[in-house]
Amino acid sequence: MSNRTVVITGANAGLGLECARNILTRDDSWRVVLAVRDVDRGAAAVAGLGAPDRCTVMSCDLASLRSVRDFTAALASAAVPPLHAVVCNAGLQIVDGTQFTDDGVEMTFGVNHLGHFALVQGLLDQLHPPARIVVVSSGTHDPARLTGMPHPLYPTAEELAHPPDGADVNGRRRYTTSKLCNLLFAYELDRRLDHGARGTTVTVFDPGLMPGSGLARQYSPVQKFAWHYVFPVLRVLPNVNSARTSGRRLAALVADPALDGVTGSYFEGAKQIRSSTDSYDTGKALDLWDTSERLVQHVTT
């Protein structure tokens, strides 16, 4: 019988789905809440997971802070076991142009960072220690690594949320910068939770390059073909993984007893390593936190 709950954003496909599958398979004490934008796709995912009695699908659109607020309120009254883990997994990449969330925030920053910031803030009081928060980032956040992606560019959080005229519109750079924000947020959250002393740990996960994932949805036809049919051959290379492999490693950060008490750490797959130099910049982290808090309060008050 399940006696603890994990919330996984974007759990209807890809990495989130495989994480959910692995948690359900490895330990029957867990119930999985699939926090998804499309509840019909979430229901279809549950059918494929094969454990409908241990899955709950709930609407949570990270591009709408009101939707996130409604999700956290609904979870508090839902008939699920106590909350013990949150996985901030969902993400997107807008390749061309600029799109905005319902709240007028640049979409990549809004979904990949701000929506998850609001989600975690709304769930902190619901977490029952020992608890774990896992944030999915990417090795592309680190300019010292040869990823083929543009280096992150962090001016201020305000400029990322509301790009001024003439700001860089490179969608792939916005993506890598949002992945840097994931780390800045996670490390600052860990500091505010007294590095696990309150019973909640925070870790960050790099799933590696996962050919075939949904991040290529805006690529050109040629790029999509390469992403789905050529890049998978590269899985023989370091940190190029299937969604199933990365999902298993992400699930370990949620449920593996061997990782009890591990906090403020960055994992490349199953390996704990140091993240980029900028990710440890407390000035940037405070700027990101204060701006994010202001943006969230503006909508929820």
- pLDDT-based confidence at 241, cuts 50/70/90? confident
62 to 58, 86, 109, 159, 222: CA distances (angstroms): 12, 14, 11, 19, 29
State whether residue 35 is helix, strand or coil.
strand
First to last CA, the chain: 39
**pLDDT greater than 50 at residue 223:** no
* pLDDT given for residue 213 in this prediction: 52
* pLDDT given for residue 17 in this prediction: 98
- How far, in Å, CA of 143 to CA of 157, rounded? 19
Name the catalytic one among 154, 175, 229, 280.
Answer: 175
Beta bridge partners of 204: 135, 266
How confident is the model over 243-267, as pLDDT tens digits? 999 999 999 999 999 999 999 999 9
| Residue from 225, 188, 126, 113 nearest 158 by CA | 113
CA dihedral sign, ordered 206, 38, 21, 258: positive
- How far, in Å, CA of 253 to CA of 86, rounded? 11
How confident is the model over 166-200, as pLDDT tens digits? 888 999 999 999 999 999 999 999 999 999 999 99
Mean pLDDT of 227-243: 56
Number of Cβ within 10 Å of residue 84's Cβ equals: 23
**Range 4-300: architecture per CATH:** 3-Layer(aba) Sandwich (3.40)
Give the H or E element holding residue 9. strand 4-9
Number of Cβ within 10 Å of residue 24's Cβ equals: 20
Question: Phi then psi for 172, rounded to 5 degrees?
Answer: -70, -35
280 catalytically annotated? no
